[in-house]
A and B are shown apart, each in its own frame.
Chain A
Amino acid sequence: MSVARTTTEPSLFSAVLENFPAGVMVCDPDWGILWVNKKLVELTGVPAETLSGLHVCLLPSLLSKVVEPGERMQQQLVRLTCHPEAASKVVYEWHRPDLRYIEQITAPVQDAEGHLLAYVCSLSDVTQAKEVDEMKSEFISVASHELRTPMTSIKGSLDLLLGGYAGPIADPVRELLEIGQAAVDRLIRLINDILDISKIEAGKIELNLEVLDSVELLHRTVSSLRTYADGASVNLTVMPGGPVPAIMADRDRMEQVLTNLLSNAIKYAPADTAVEASVNEVERKVRFSVRDYGSGIPPDKIGRIFDKFHQLEGSKKGTGLGLAICRALIREHGGDIWVRAEVSPGACFEFELPAAERVKG
């Protein structure tokens, strides 16, 4: 590509922008429209000459002749021009006459010194993606209902028989019923996990963010697993630490992540060993750690341990989704999760979340 580079570059770039498969609009730092490409004219139905020089907030009034941009577009544009960093991605609803979803992504254009030269916006019709997304949600909802209904009958019947509803049962019968009960419980967990991860991946999860005391959160989750740890003869302890900032997170989801990591650790810990949980502040972030003294994770498996359905050999009847859900939830909270394998024996799972503004002791 070195041929006549200096002479072709400007024309090549303008040709690229002109023929770009998404609508492109360039605005000056005061949001006056400088330039639009062919696709943008096609999307809006407004000629380039009409758009040129106009303030971007006037766009909806022009559009209304061709498309019905909806009342929200005006508010969305005002918000964009006031807080471009917070509103960098917006989706407009245009009726022309059928409903189309138009996604606008905006980025500042800066020179080498960081001076703002312009804003560049791309506009694409994301209606099809949105429809697929809605179909996926609908499928999740229907699948959830259709699978849970027969499962309720199976679980209910087995639990009632084992609970003594029909009178005493002979040992071999009990053994067979218990096999069925364990399998149906596992199936229910699997369905719940599949629905959970589909929901997170489809961006359909709603986080109820609140300020949480990190230490209290850890103690509370550890307490809820005390009976399980005792049953496995594992010494579950919270390691002492200094003051830790609060986090801004969804309580149920955080408990879900911690429960998953702790119960995994307990499950793989040999009897009479410890599982240690801790929470510390590391460079203005809150780091939770769960350490066990089990057989650890082979180095070649570390990279894939958080992948869906990736289970280690000898995995004890998990769904293969627990860690994938943990990672998805932590990322949804703006944090990160990893496993430290260099500890020996055993493994140490850690995740970090940004500290909330208010510091708690």
Chain B
Amino acid sequence: MNAMEIRKILLAEDEEDIQKVARMSLQFQSKWEVVVAGNGQECLEKVNTERPDLILLDAMMPRMDGYETCRRLKADPATRHIPVIFLTAKAQEGEIKKGLELGAVGYLVKPFDPMRLAAQIKQILEKEREEK
């Protein structure tokens, strides 16, 4: 996925404050449309109706956590092509490794810098494209 091709991002995040800050930050720094899911279950539902180009995924969420959500997204032929980036406060080495092993293309740690969030996403996608 080229960063230029992104039009819509699905943000899976259970904290309303962070949903707002991340959405404002992405809309301020990019032209991407941001849709929000409040947990992993909702993320799996919305991925089918919204058809996002990228998924930003929190790790700790009620009903279904980010790791299980990522595993299911990558197991489904209809969604496995959508790049997933973790955006989470679970910042220990083992946790980062776990997220990447599940097929995420990158890992961003909270607290994130809202003035750089869009740039960091573009950087991850760029790096991923070069490595392919």
Contact = CB atoms under 8 A, between A and B. Distances in A.
B75 interface: no
Given A141-B90, A144-B90, A148-B89, A156 B25 contact: yes
A188 interface: yes
A148 B92 contact: no
Contact of A151 (B25, B28, B94, B111): B111
Nearest to B27: A165
B115 A163 contact: yes
A163 B28 contact: yes
B21 A148 contact: no
B37 to A, nearest CB: 17
A140 B115 CA distance: 28
Contacts of B109: 148
For the residues of A in contact with B, the DSSP-based class is helix
A253 to B, nearest CB: 11
Contact of B91 (A144, A155, A165, A206): A144
A227 interface: no
B13 to A, nearest CB: 10
B90 A165 contact: no
Interface in A163-220: 163, 165, 184, 188, 195, 199, 205-206
Q: Give the residue among A151, A154, A156, A188 with the most B Cβ atoms within 10 A.
A: A156
Interface string B50-79: 000000000010000000000000000000
Interface string B13-36: 001011001101100100000000
Given A144-B90, A152-B111, A152-B112, A160 B25 contact: yes
Interface in A132-153: 140-141, 144-145, 148-153
A112 to B, nearest CB: 47
Contacts of A159: 113-115
Interface string B85-114: 000011111110000000000000111111
Contacts of B111: 148, 151-152, 154-156, 184, 188
Interface of A: 140-141, 144-145, 148-157, 159-160, 163, 165, 184, 188, 195, 199, 205-206
Interface of B: 15, 17-18, 21-22, 24-25, 28, 60, 89-95, 109-115
